[in-house]
Amino acid sequence: MRATIFGISGCTNGGKTTISTRIIEELKKKDLEVAHICQDDYFKEKELVEQVSHNDFPEVLFYHYDNIEAVNHKTMREFILEVAMKTDVIILEGNMICELEKVVELMDHIIFITMDKDTCEKRRNNRIYDPADLPGYFDQIVWPAYLEHYETAKKLEAQGTSISFQNGTDPLDEIVRNVLKMLEKKLFCLIRIQFSEITVEKLEKFVILPNCGAVSTFIGTTRDNFKGKKVLSLEYECYESMAYKELRRICWKTKEKFPDVERIAVVHRIGKVEVGESSIAISTSSPHRREAIEATHFLIDTIKSCVPVFKKEVYEDGSKSWKENCEFEDFKKELNNKIDLAQEEI
Protein backbone atom coordinates (compact mmCIF):
# COMPACT_ATOMS: atom_id res chain seq x y z
CA MET A 1 0.00 0.00 0.00
CA ARG A 2 1.37 3.41 -0.98
CA ALA A 3 -0.64 5.80 1.19
CA THR A 4 -0.31 6.76 4.83
CA ILE A 5 -3.86 6.62 6.21
CA PHE A 6 -5.09 8.90 8.98
CA GLY A 7 -8.49 8.61 10.65
CA ILE A 8 -10.50 11.56 11.99
CA SER A 9 -13.17 10.08 14.26
CA GLY A 10 -15.14 10.93 17.38
CA CYS A 11 -18.18 12.89 18.42
CA THR A 12 -20.94 13.83 16.00
CA ASN A 13 -20.80 17.56 15.21
CA GLY A 14 -17.25 17.62 16.52
CA GLY A 15 -16.02 19.43 13.42
CA LYS A 16 -14.50 16.36 11.75
CA THR A 17 -15.27 17.48 8.20
CA THR A 18 -13.99 21.01 8.77
CA ILE A 19 -10.85 19.69 10.46
CA SER A 20 -10.27 17.18 7.66
CA THR A 21 -10.65 19.86 5.00
CA ARG A 22 -8.19 22.18 6.76
CA ILE A 23 -5.67 19.38 7.26
CA ILE A 24 -5.88 18.40 3.59
CA GLU A 25 -5.23 22.01 2.56
CA GLU A 26 -2.11 22.11 4.74
CA LEU A 27 -0.76 18.77 3.49
CA LYS A 28 -1.27 19.78 -0.14
CA LYS A 29 0.87 22.86 0.49
CA LYS A 30 3.69 20.39 1.13
CA ASP A 31 3.28 18.90 -2.39
CA LEU A 32 1.58 15.78 -1.03
CA GLU A 33 -1.21 14.05 -2.92
CA VAL A 34 -4.13 13.70 -0.49
CA ALA A 35 -7.51 11.94 -0.73
CA HIS A 36 -10.53 12.49 1.54
CA ILE A 37 -12.81 9.52 2.21
CA CYS A 38 -15.98 9.99 4.29
CA GLN A 39 -17.77 7.23 6.16
CA ASP A 40 -21.11 8.99 5.58
CA ASP A 41 -20.79 8.36 1.84
CA TYR A 42 -21.19 4.65 2.60
CA PHE A 43 -24.45 4.68 4.54
CA LYS A 44 -26.90 2.09 3.25
CA GLU A 45 -30.21 3.04 1.68
CA LYS A 46 -32.75 4.13 4.30
CA GLU A 47 -34.90 1.03 3.87
CA LEU A 48 -31.88 -1.13 4.79
CA VAL A 49 -31.11 0.75 8.02
CA GLU A 50 -32.32 -0.75 11.31
CA GLN A 51 -35.31 0.94 12.93
CA VAL A 52 -35.54 1.26 16.71
CA SER A 53 -38.63 2.09 18.75
CA HIS A 54 -38.71 5.18 20.95
CA ASN A 55 -38.29 4.11 24.58
CA ASP A 56 -41.40 6.01 25.71
CA PHE A 57 -43.48 5.99 22.52
CA PRO A 58 -43.10 2.60 20.80
CA GLU A 59 -45.06 3.78 17.77
CA VAL A 60 -42.25 6.26 17.00
CA LEU A 61 -39.42 4.64 15.04
CA PHE A 62 -35.85 5.91 14.74
CA TYR A 63 -33.52 5.05 11.86
CA HIS A 64 -30.40 3.88 13.67
CA TYR A 65 -27.66 5.60 11.65
CA ASP A 66 -25.27 5.44 14.61
CA ASN A 67 -24.94 1.66 14.30
CA ILE A 68 -22.05 0.27 12.24
CA GLU A 69 -24.51 -2.00 10.43
CA ALA A 70 -25.87 1.15 8.78
CA VAL A 71 -22.54 1.48 6.95
CA ASN A 72 -21.49 -0.58 3.95
CA HIS A 73 -18.06 -0.99 5.48
CA LYS A 74 -16.89 -3.73 3.10
CA THR A 75 -17.35 -1.43 0.10
CA MET A 76 -15.70 1.42 2.01
CA ARG A 77 -12.67 -0.72 2.86
CA GLU A 78 -12.30 -1.86 -0.74
CA PHE A 79 -12.35 1.75 -1.90
CA ILE A 80 -9.76 2.74 0.72
CA LEU A 81 -7.43 0.02 -0.56
CA GLU A 82 -7.98 1.13 -4.15
CA VAL A 83 -7.26 4.79 -3.39
CA ALA A 84 -4.28 3.86 -1.20
CA MET A 85 -2.44 2.76 -4.34
CA LYS A 86 -2.89 6.16 -6.00
CA THR A 87 -2.11 8.80 -3.39
CA ASP A 88 0.35 9.74 -0.64
CA VAL A 89 -2.11 10.37 2.20
CA ILE A 90 -5.72 9.42 2.90
CA ILE A 91 -7.81 11.31 5.44
CA LEU A 92 -10.57 8.91 6.49
CA GLU A 93 -13.39 10.65 8.32
CA GLY A 94 -16.29 9.18 10.26
CA ASN A 95 -17.74 8.94 13.75
CA MET A 96 -17.81 5.12 13.74
CA ILE A 97 -14.54 4.16 12.03
CA CYS A 98 -13.02 3.02 15.34
CA GLU A 99 -15.70 0.31 15.47
CA LEU A 100 -14.67 -1.18 12.12
CA GLU A 101 -11.86 -3.64 12.87
CA LYS A 102 -10.94 -4.23 9.22
CA VAL A 103 -10.72 -0.47 8.69
CA VAL A 104 -8.82 0.26 11.91
CA GLU A 105 -6.06 -2.12 10.83
CA LEU A 106 -5.48 0.00 7.71
CA MET A 107 -4.96 3.28 9.57
CA ASP A 108 -1.54 4.55 10.61
CA HIS A 109 -2.99 6.92 13.19
CA ILE A 110 -6.42 7.99 14.47
CA ILE A 111 -7.47 11.35 15.87
CA PHE A 112 -10.55 11.01 18.10
CA ILE A 113 -12.53 14.22 18.69
CA THR A 114 -14.14 14.44 22.15
CA MET A 115 -16.94 16.72 23.35
CA ASP A 116 -19.29 17.26 26.29
CA LYS A 117 -22.97 16.37 25.93
CA ASP A 118 -24.41 19.90 26.14
CA THR A 119 -22.15 21.31 23.42
CA CYS A 120 -22.75 18.31 21.20
CA GLU A 121 -26.53 18.59 21.54
CA LYS A 122 -26.53 22.33 20.86
CA ARG A 123 -24.48 21.85 17.71
CA ARG A 124 -26.63 18.96 16.57
CA ASN A 125 -29.81 21.01 16.99
CA ASN A 126 -28.40 23.55 14.54
CA ARG A 127 -27.88 20.93 11.84
CA ILE A 128 -30.41 19.53 9.36
CA TYR A 129 -30.41 15.77 8.81
CA ASP A 130 -32.18 13.50 6.34
CA PRO A 131 -34.06 11.82 7.86
CA ALA A 132 -34.50 14.57 10.44
CA ASP A 133 -33.75 13.90 14.11
CA LEU A 134 -36.97 13.08 15.91
CA PRO A 135 -37.50 14.13 19.55
CA GLY A 136 -35.61 11.71 21.77
CA TYR A 137 -33.19 10.53 19.08
CA PHE A 138 -30.21 12.37 20.55
CA ASP A 139 -30.66 11.03 24.10
CA GLN A 140 -31.59 7.49 23.10
CA ILE A 141 -29.32 6.92 20.09
CA VAL A 142 -26.75 9.63 19.36
CA TRP A 143 -25.17 10.28 22.75
CA PRO A 144 -25.06 6.64 23.96
CA ALA A 145 -23.48 5.70 20.60
CA TYR A 146 -20.79 8.35 21.06
CA LEU A 147 -20.00 7.03 24.55
CA GLU A 148 -19.64 3.53 23.08
CA HIS A 149 -17.33 4.80 20.33
CA TYR A 150 -15.26 6.65 22.93
CA GLU A 151 -14.89 3.50 25.04
CA THR A 152 -13.85 1.58 21.93
CA ALA A 153 -11.24 4.24 21.15
CA LYS A 154 -9.84 4.00 24.70
CA LYS A 155 -9.65 0.21 24.36
CA LEU A 156 -7.79 0.58 21.07
CA GLU A 157 -5.34 2.92 22.79
CA ALA A 158 -4.80 0.39 25.59
CA GLN A 159 -4.19 -2.32 22.99
CA GLY A 160 -1.45 -0.28 21.34
CA THR A 161 -3.32 1.27 18.42
CA SER A 162 -1.83 4.63 17.43
CA ILE A 163 -4.54 7.05 18.52
CA SER A 164 -4.72 10.59 19.94
CA PHE A 165 -7.59 12.47 21.58
CA GLN A 166 -8.50 16.09 20.85
CA ASN A 167 -11.10 18.25 22.62
CA GLY A 168 -13.57 19.38 19.98
CA THR A 169 -14.56 22.51 21.94
CA ASP A 170 -11.10 24.08 21.60
CA PRO A 171 -10.75 26.95 19.07
CA LEU A 172 -10.72 25.58 15.52
CA ASP A 173 -7.31 27.00 14.60
CA GLU A 174 -5.83 25.44 17.73
CA ILE A 175 -7.41 22.07 16.90
CA VAL A 176 -6.05 22.17 13.35
CA ARG A 177 -2.54 23.00 14.61
CA ASN A 178 -2.68 20.19 17.18
CA VAL A 179 -4.03 17.62 14.74
CA LEU A 180 -1.54 18.58 12.03
CA LYS A 181 1.30 18.29 14.52
CA MET A 182 0.12 14.83 15.60
CA LEU A 183 -0.24 13.62 12.02
CA GLU A 184 3.10 14.97 10.84
CA LYS A 185 4.81 12.97 13.58
CA LYS A 186 3.29 9.84 12.04
CA LEU A 187 3.96 10.85 8.43
CA PHE A 188 7.20 8.91 8.19
CA CYS A 189 7.60 7.76 4.60
CA LEU A 190 6.70 8.99 1.12
CA ILE A 191 6.60 6.29 -1.56
CA ARG A 192 5.82 6.78 -5.23
CA ILE A 193 6.05 4.70 -8.39
CA GLN A 194 5.50 6.94 -11.39
CA PHE A 195 5.88 7.37 -15.16
CA SER A 196 6.76 11.07 -14.91
CA GLU A 197 10.22 12.47 -14.28
CA ILE A 198 11.44 12.56 -10.69
CA THR A 199 11.65 15.95 -8.98
CA VAL A 200 14.25 15.47 -6.27
CA GLU A 201 13.36 18.76 -4.61
CA LYS A 202 9.94 17.32 -3.68
CA LEU A 203 11.57 14.39 -1.88
CA GLU A 204 13.89 16.68 0.02
CA LYS A 205 11.03 19.04 0.86
CA PHE A 206 9.23 16.10 2.47
CA VAL A 207 12.15 14.88 4.58
CA ILE A 208 13.48 18.26 5.76
CA LEU A 209 12.46 18.87 9.38
CA PRO A 210 13.51 21.51 11.94
CA ASN A 211 15.14 18.91 14.21
CA CYS A 212 17.17 17.31 11.41
CA GLY A 213 20.63 18.59 10.54
CA ALA A 214 21.27 16.15 7.72
CA VAL A 215 19.58 15.13 4.49
CA SER A 216 21.08 12.34 2.38
CA THR A 217 19.91 11.88 -1.21
CA PHE A 218 20.76 9.15 -3.71
CA ILE A 219 19.83 9.45 -7.39
CA GLY A 220 20.14 6.51 -9.76
CA THR A 221 20.39 7.49 -13.44
CA THR A 222 20.46 5.67 -16.77
CA ARG A 223 24.03 5.29 -18.01
CA ASP A 224 24.87 5.08 -21.72
CA ASN A 225 26.69 1.74 -21.78
CA PHE A 226 26.52 -1.84 -20.59
CA LYS A 227 29.41 -4.28 -21.18
CA GLY A 228 30.64 -2.33 -24.17
CA LYS A 229 27.21 -1.86 -25.77
CA LYS A 230 25.72 1.59 -26.32
CA VAL A 231 22.52 2.05 -24.28
CA LEU A 232 19.83 4.40 -25.62
CA SER A 233 17.26 4.04 -22.84
CA LEU A 234 15.79 1.80 -20.15
CA GLU A 235 12.19 0.66 -19.83
CA TYR A 236 10.97 -0.28 -16.35
CA GLU A 237 8.02 -2.46 -15.37
CA CYS A 238 6.86 -3.63 -11.95
CA TYR A 239 4.14 -5.38 -9.99
CA GLU A 240 2.86 -2.18 -8.39
CA SER A 241 0.88 -3.66 -5.50
CA MET A 242 3.77 -5.93 -4.51
CA ALA A 243 6.31 -3.17 -5.08
CA TYR A 244 4.48 -0.71 -2.82
CA LYS A 245 4.15 -3.36 -0.12
CA GLU A 246 7.86 -4.12 -0.27
CA LEU A 247 8.89 -0.46 -0.35
CA ARG A 248 6.81 0.32 2.72
CA ARG A 249 8.22 -2.72 4.53
CA ILE A 250 11.75 -1.66 3.64
CA CYS A 251 11.15 1.87 4.92
CA TRP A 252 10.03 0.55 8.29
CA LYS A 253 12.90 -1.94 8.35
CA THR A 254 15.24 1.00 7.78
CA LYS A 255 13.62 2.88 10.67
CA GLU A 256 14.20 -0.10 12.94
CA LYS A 257 17.84 -0.34 11.90
CA PHE A 258 18.43 3.43 12.05
CA PRO A 259 16.00 4.77 14.70
CA ASP A 260 17.35 8.33 14.47
CA VAL A 261 16.14 8.62 10.87
CA GLU A 262 13.08 10.88 10.93
CA ARG A 263 11.75 10.60 7.37
CA ILE A 264 12.27 8.63 4.19
CA ALA A 265 11.18 9.40 0.63
CA VAL A 266 11.50 6.90 -2.23
CA VAL A 267 10.42 7.46 -5.83
CA HIS A 268 10.94 4.89 -8.60
CA ARG A 269 10.30 5.54 -12.29
CA ILE A 270 8.52 3.06 -14.53
CA GLY A 271 8.16 3.24 -18.28
CA LYS A 272 10.85 4.69 -20.55
CA VAL A 273 13.83 6.40 -18.91
CA GLU A 274 16.32 8.10 -21.22
CA VAL A 275 20.09 8.21 -20.71
CA GLY A 276 20.91 10.73 -17.99
CA GLU A 277 17.42 10.69 -16.50
CA SER A 278 16.72 9.53 -12.95
CA SER A 279 15.18 6.10 -12.47
CA ILE A 280 15.16 6.14 -8.67
CA ALA A 281 15.66 8.76 -5.97
CA ILE A 282 15.91 8.29 -2.22
CA SER A 283 16.09 10.97 0.48
CA THR A 284 16.44 10.48 4.22
CA SER A 285 16.76 12.92 7.11
CA SER A 286 18.18 12.61 10.60
CA PRO A 287 19.68 14.86 13.29
CA HIS A 288 23.22 13.81 12.28
CA ARG A 289 24.77 12.89 8.92
CA ARG A 290 26.00 9.36 9.64
CA GLU A 291 22.52 7.90 10.20
CA ALA A 292 21.08 9.56 7.08
CA ILE A 293 23.96 8.47 4.85
CA GLU A 294 23.97 4.90 6.14
CA ALA A 295 20.18 4.65 5.92
CA THR A 296 20.19 5.82 2.30
CA HIS A 297 22.88 3.26 1.46
CA PHE A 298 20.88 0.52 3.18
CA LEU A 299 17.69 1.55 1.37
CA ILE A 300 19.08 1.38 -2.16
CA ASP A 301 20.77 -1.96 -1.54
CA THR A 302 17.63 -3.46 0.00
CA ILE A 303 15.32 -2.06 -2.68
CA LYS A 304 17.50 -3.60 -5.40
CA SER A 305 17.37 -6.97 -3.67
CA CYS A 306 13.68 -7.13 -2.73
CA VAL A 307 11.43 -4.96 -4.88
CA PRO A 308 9.87 -6.55 -8.01
CA VAL A 309 11.04 -4.01 -10.61
CA PHE A 310 12.33 -5.14 -14.01
CA LYS A 311 14.12 -3.18 -16.72
CA LYS A 312 14.65 -3.60 -20.44
CA GLU A 313 17.81 -2.14 -21.91
CA VAL A 314 17.44 -0.72 -25.42
CA TYR A 315 20.73 -0.64 -27.35
CA GLU A 316 21.97 1.49 -30.23
CA ASP A 317 22.28 -1.57 -32.51
CA GLY A 318 18.52 -2.18 -32.21
CA SER A 319 18.75 -5.10 -29.79
CA LYS A 320 17.00 -5.22 -26.43
CA SER A 321 17.64 -7.13 -23.23
CA TRP A 322 15.47 -7.65 -20.16
CA LYS A 323 17.40 -7.28 -16.93
CA GLU A 324 16.53 -7.74 -13.31
CA ASN A 325 18.48 -6.89 -10.22
CA CYS A 326 21.07 -9.59 -9.73
CA GLU A 327 19.98 -9.79 -6.10
CA PHE A 328 16.37 -10.48 -7.13
CA GLU A 329 16.67 -14.24 -7.72
CA ASP A 330 15.56 -15.20 -4.20
CA PHE A 331 12.39 -13.15 -4.53
CA LYS A 332 11.62 -14.69 -7.94
CA LYS A 333 12.06 -18.21 -6.57
CA GLU A 334 9.74 -17.39 -3.67
CA LEU A 335 7.15 -15.97 -6.09
CA ASN A 336 7.32 -19.06 -8.31
CA ASN A 337 6.91 -21.32 -5.28
CA LYS A 338 3.76 -19.42 -4.27
CA ILE A 339 2.37 -19.76 -7.79
CA ASP A 340 3.10 -23.51 -7.79
CA LEU A 341 1.37 -23.94 -4.42
CA ALA A 342 -1.65 -21.97 -5.62
CA GLN A 343 -1.92 -24.15 -8.73
CA GLU A 344 -1.72 -27.31 -6.60
CA GLU A 345 -4.59 -26.05 -4.44
CA ILE A 346 -6.69 -25.43 -7.55
pTM of the model: 0.87
Q: Give per-residue pLDDT as tens, 237-274.
A: 998 999 999 999 999 999 999 999 999 999 999 999 99
* CA dihedral for 119, 120, 125, 127, sign (positive or negative): positive
134 phi/psi in degrees, rounded to 5: -85, 155
Topology at the third CATH level for domain 4-186: Rossmann fold (3.40.50)
Tell me, what's the pLDDT at 54? 96
Q: Give per-residue pLDDT as tens, 26-69.
A: 999 999 999 999 999 999 999 999 999 999 999 999 999 999 99
Q: Give per-residue pLDDT as tens, 222-242.
A: 999 988 889 999 999 998 999
Q: Give per-residue pLDDT as tens, 87-146.
A: 999 999 999 999 999 999 999 999 999 999 999 999 999 888 888 889 999 999 999 999
Helix (H) or strand (E) holding 24: helix 16-28
Tell me, what's the pLDDT at 132? 83
Tell me, what's the pLDDT at 330? 57
Angle (deg, nearest 10), helices 172-186 and 16-28? 60
Q: Could you tell me if residue 160 is left (phi over 0), alpha (psi between -120 and 50 degrees) or otherwise beta?
A: left
CATH of 189-345, picked from 1.10.10.60, 3.40.50.620, 3.90.1170.40, 3.40.50.10860, is 3.90.1170.40
Provide the residue ranges of all domains of the chain, joining segments of one domain with +: 4-186, 189-345
Cα dist. 232→315, 320, 321, 322 in Å? 5, 10, 12, 14
Q: Give per-residue pLDDT as tens, 272-325.
A: 999 999 999 999 999 999 999 999 999 999 999 999 999 898 998 888 888 765
